Structure 1
Amino acid sequence: MTDIARGVQLRRCGAPPPIRMVHVGLGAFHRSHQAWYTARAADSAHWGIAAFTGQSLDVAERLNAQGGVYTLIVRGSAADSFETVDSIVAAYPGVDIAAFVAVLGSHDVVVLTLTITEAAYHLDAEGVLDLDDPHVCHDLAILRAVFAEGSALDEVPPLRSALARVLLALEGRRRSGAPPLAIIPCDNLPHNGYLVGQALASLAEMTSAPLRVWLETGISVVSTSVDRITPRMSPEDSDEVFVETGVVDLAPVVTEEFSDWVLAGDFPSGRPAWETAGARFVADIAPWEARKLWMLNGAHSVLAALGTLRGHALVSGAIDDPVCREVVDALWQEAARHLPDVEVTHYAAELIARFRNPRIEHRLVQIATDATTKMRLRIVPVALRERAAGRPAEGCAAAVAAWWLSDTGDAPREGGSNGLDRAVACLDTGLAHDPTFMAAVAAAVDRIRRAVAAEASPGEADRARRPQNSTTLGGRS
């Protein structure tokens, strides 16, 4: 590592903005996305963030030592640029429930953002609160007791789920008459605003009738689509900041040049002017969610399966493999037919440029985790729409074939037609009983087997990259 002892410690210059926002899930993605948009908004001087980690003390300590400010390293394909982000005013460990209740209970706070991962909402396969989850059961028992007794909210036993902690703090807002709060989930959870709102309502129904009534007017849950590749920090990042700027930064963040944020919903007590920083506000989030899910995430699932079969390790190498690119293009053509009015052609061109960036490492093995669930969300909806329109859905079929053949997924693939039938049935029974689609999948299996037998070697981008830490996309891969 570079000797940075002689450097100047990064500090906040001037008075911080007042805390009017709270964030849960303080990590690299929040700092490259929502905090960055807030810092770049035209009215940023009026919108400070109090951010809570998941469980870690480390990030909060490092940020607080710098007054909340940090360097964002924007990693282009040729060079990096450096920007100081100062929207985070205070950072807290997520386990500090008393601080969370107090900060979110402030009448000045009118926005709450979340990046906690999809699993941390504890929803079942139908998208409703999972009442069999042991963390949910544990928290329900505590909330019932606290609300029934009218206990002080800053002295409750530890809660295990983020939504239970949010509900506890919302009870504090109800008791104090705080203004309505906009809650913005920023994870890759389809229909995230609706699902999170329903989950909070379910928790309230089982714990406090007055709170359940208050939620009708006390909160608004906004739906969002978020997108920015954000690698995790490595020690070399702090070294680079010092070498390039002369400043010692204990908590830099690396991200790509591209960023996107689409929001739909109400902000009853105000919000930052995020549109001045490039965010978009729309009436219907669904097509924007689908565009990202089917095109970006769908392509990633193709590359994770087929790229690995072809000998690649990184997205940047797999996207330039003509065999992989052919399937991605076919999938995108099919998806585009069902994505009106969301800038599909321009978005596809941007995706190719992002995927090709050799300086942003995105490992295929990471994307391949939980492959079956991802295929259901990313590929099956397009396939069903194509078949309903009378088309064979060959791009989707090739994606399914690659998933079946890949040994990087979450289960071994059985050989033979019966194994293929059963595997597709795990994705969607209707597709498994569709002879046209199954014929397209079988044909794609044969083509991919021949292509794999051609002994493709990793692309130049794969060989050129040194190993680095893993990457998160839009908060999660």
Structure 2
Amino acid sequence: MTTRLTRASAQARPPAPVRAVHLGLGAFHRAHQAVYTMADPEWGIAAYTFRNTELPRRLAEQDGLFSLQVRGEGQPEAVIVDAISRAHPGGDTDQWLADLASPDVALLTLTITEAGYRGDQDGSAIGRVLAGLRGRHRAGGAPIALVPCDNLPGNGGVLREALRTAAAGEAPDFRSWLEDQVSYVDTVVDRITPATTEEDVATAAQLTGFEDRAPVVTEPFSEWLLSGDFPLGRPAWEKAGARFVDDLSVYAQRKLRFLNGAHTLLAYAGSALGCATVDEAVQHPVLANLTASWWDVAARHTPLPASELADYRQRLLLRFSSRGVRHNLVQIAADGSQKLPARILPVLRAERAVQRMPEAPVAALAGWLIHLRDGPVSDPRADELVPLARSRDAARRVLSALDTALADDAGLVSAVEDHVEHLRLSAERIS
């Protein structure tokens, strides 16, 4: 028999004072930043999501608590995470503005996906952040650190530019405050966190003895690298293993290309070959060879020692192969138009500049084309891209929408077309 999860039933500490706000209350935040923040009992998080109301309602009923299942090769383990002091849906606009205006709040972390940094209208994530910062400026202008935790190279700089663009029509004193009193922290984040299933809910109850309607499943590995200033302080994230470094660029390249790039390759080429999860795909002989080939190519353009990259590759292979965390390819395949430019295209461009035609990134683009054509597609540019993928001359037209220079590369267009056919024939042989 299980007991409803609350702070009283779990004998957890009272909610910590809210000193951090988070935007993007999903599984990754709860498996990553919330766990790191839990290491400092003086910091509580007010977490917001503008995508749904059900998750914050469930968390509110559980006093912000949830269970984190860590699954490796052995038996799963579970811990109750208590860093979220309050959980709010997007409709709590007044509370959102009040939290960001409060001088007690020292930082805002974000997990809004790569696509979230593009919009600047009022209802977008950037629009909501700008509204919160505008209110903070009017309330006295206490400094604040913004900590984006999405897979974008130089994500702090990306956020700064997105807010600059959104604030172009604002008053000069507010724009100056954004430059002088708002700190933009660069980060590299890493922890594989698949979508939660009903089976995970049942397992959470077995492991903890509590009825938890918002459990999270993740892997043992976790990484958080940060570079930037925190003018009003920060949680002691280093107690949970976070590292603060002067230059993140090479680590961001390593992670985006080796982990995220391989995930993207497997999501598109793997789906085209009938695979459903990362662990299944990485065991497929064709996809295993493509993954190794991708890592070989990426290593040529990642300025880290060969031994360090070899070790990182080996650890990734073990993580990908683990059946403890089954990461669905359809989840990774979302938002390809935002992910491919950061994860795959820089390496492909570098290879084409020296007249090489590497198979792995070509396979990723071919798989993406098949994904757009056959769906289902979750992408902010789906209405534009899906018709192109189903038209004549699809490869050139889709590549042109991604980058006109790619469409001008006749050799690349031909290679993608050939690989679409290659994947189709391979899938037929398998079936």
The answer to whether the Cα contact below 8 Å between 1:12 and 1:86 also exists between their aligned partners in 2 is: no
Match of 1:198 among 153, 157, 161: 161
Q: 1:13 to 1:214 in 2, by over 3 A?
A: same
Q: Which amino acid aligns with 1:24?
A: L
Q: 1:91 to 1:456 in 2, by over 3 A?
A: same
2:314 matched residue in structure 1: 349
Q: 1:10 to 1:386 in 2, by over 3 A?
A: farther
Gaps of 5+ in 2: 378-385
User: How far apart, in 2, do the equivalents of 1:45 and 1:6 lie?
Assistant: 23
1:382 matched residue in structure 2: 347
For residues 152-167 of structure 1, the aligned pairs below 5 Å read 160-167=123-130
Bigger-Rg structure (1/2): 1
Tell me how far 1:109 sits from its aligned partner. 1.3
1:87 matched residue in structure 2: 83
SS class of match (1:51): strand
1:295 matched residue in structure 2: 258
Tell me how far 1:428 sits from its aligned partner. 4.2
Tell me how far 1:403 sits from its aligned partner. 4.2
Give the alignment's TM-score, normalised by structure 1: 0.77
Match of 2:329 among 364, 367, 370: 364
User: How far apart, in 2, do the equivalents of 1:303 and 1:204 lie?
Assistant: 38
Tell me how far 1:85 sits from its aligned partner. 1.3
For residues 180-219 of structure 1, the aligned pairs below 5 Å read 180-219=143-182
Tell me how far 1:116 sits from its aligned partner. 2.4
* Structure 2 residue 224 is the aligned partner of structure 1 residue 225: no
The answer to whether the Cα contact below 8 Å between 2:3 and 2:9 also exists between their aligned partners in 1 is: no
SS class of match (1:229): coil
1:280 matched residue in structure 2: 243
> Residue by residue, what CA displacement relative to the aligned partner does 1:88-131 show, whole Å, maximum 9, x if unpaired?
112222221221222222222111111223333344xxxxx4xx
Q: Report which stretch shifted further, 50-59 or 181-190.
A: 50-59
Q: Report which stretch shifted further, 394-403 or 374-383.
A: 394-403
For residues 419-434 of structure 1, the aligned pairs below 5 Å read 420-434=395-409
Q: 1:68 to 1:373 in 2, by over 3 A?
A: closer
SS class of match (1:79): coil
Q: Which amino acid aligns with 1:218?
A: Q
User: How far apart, in 1, do the equivalents of 2:173 and 2:353 lie?
Assistant: 46
* Structure 2 residue 31 is the aligned partner of structure 1 residue 32: yes
1:4 matched residue in structure 2: 2
User: How far apart, in 2, do the equivalents of 1:364 and 1:258 lie?
Assistant: 20
1:115 matched residue in structure 2: 111
> Residue by residue, what CA displacement relative to the aligned partner does 1:1-37 show, whole Å, maximum 9, x if unpaired?
xx53699974453343322111122222211110011
1:456 matched residue in structure 2: 430
Q: 1:172 to 1:297 in 2, by over 3 A?
A: same
Gaps of 5+ in 1: 124-128, 130-135, 140-159, 458-477
Match of 1:177 among 140, 150, 160: 140
User: How far apart, in 2, do the equivalents of 1:405 and 1:238 lie?
Assistant: 34
> Residue by residue, what CA displacement relative to the aligned partner does 1:139-158 show, whole Å, maximum 9, x if unpaired?
3xxxxxxxxxxxxxxxxxxx
2:382 matched residue in structure 1: none
The answer to whether the Cα contact below 8 Å between 2:264 and 2:340 also exists between their aligned partners in 1 is: yes
The answer to whether the Cα contact below 8 Å between 1:68 and 1:88 also exists between their aligned partners in 2 is: yes
Give the alignment's TM-score, normalised by structure 2: 0.85
2:226 matched residue in structure 1: 263
1:19 matched residue in structure 2: 18
Q: Which amino acid aligns with 2:17?
A: P
The answer to whether the Cα contact below 8 Å between 2:193 and 2:327 also exists between their aligned partners in 1 is: no
User: How far apart, in 1, do the equivalents of 2:220 and 2:134 lie?
Assistant: 40
Q: Which amino acid aligns with 2:2?
A: I
User: How far apart, in 1, do the equivalents of 2:62 and 2:395 lie?
Assistant: 55
User: How far apart, in 1, do the equivalents of 2:90 and 2:67 lie?
Assistant: 23
Q: Report which stretch shifted further, 31-40 or 11-20.
A: 11-20
SS class of match (1:101): helix
User: How far apart, in 1, do the equivalents of 2:151 and 2:410 lie?
Assistant: 33
2:381 matched residue in structure 1: none
Identity %: 44
Q: Which amino acid aligns with 1:162?
A: A
Q: 1:189 to 1:61 in 2, by over 3 A?
A: same
Q: 1:161 to 1:384 in 2, by over 3 A?
A: closer
* Structure 2 residue 297 is the aligned partner of structure 1 residue 317: no
Tell me how far 1:405 sits from its aligned partner. 5.5
Tell me how far 1:449 sits from its aligned partner. 5.6
SS class of match (1:91): strand
User: How far apart, in 2, do the equivalents of 1:401 and 1:181 lie?
Assistant: 43
User: How far apart, in 2, do the equivalents of 1:120 and 1:6 lie?
Assistant: 34
> Residue by residue, what CA displacement relative to the aligned partner does 1:163-199 show, whole Å, maximum 9, x if unpaired?
3333333233323335310011222344321122222
The answer to whether the Cα contact below 8 Å between 1:294 and 1:379 also exists between their aligned partners in 2 is: yes
Q: 1:332 to 1:91 in 2, by over 3 A?
A: same
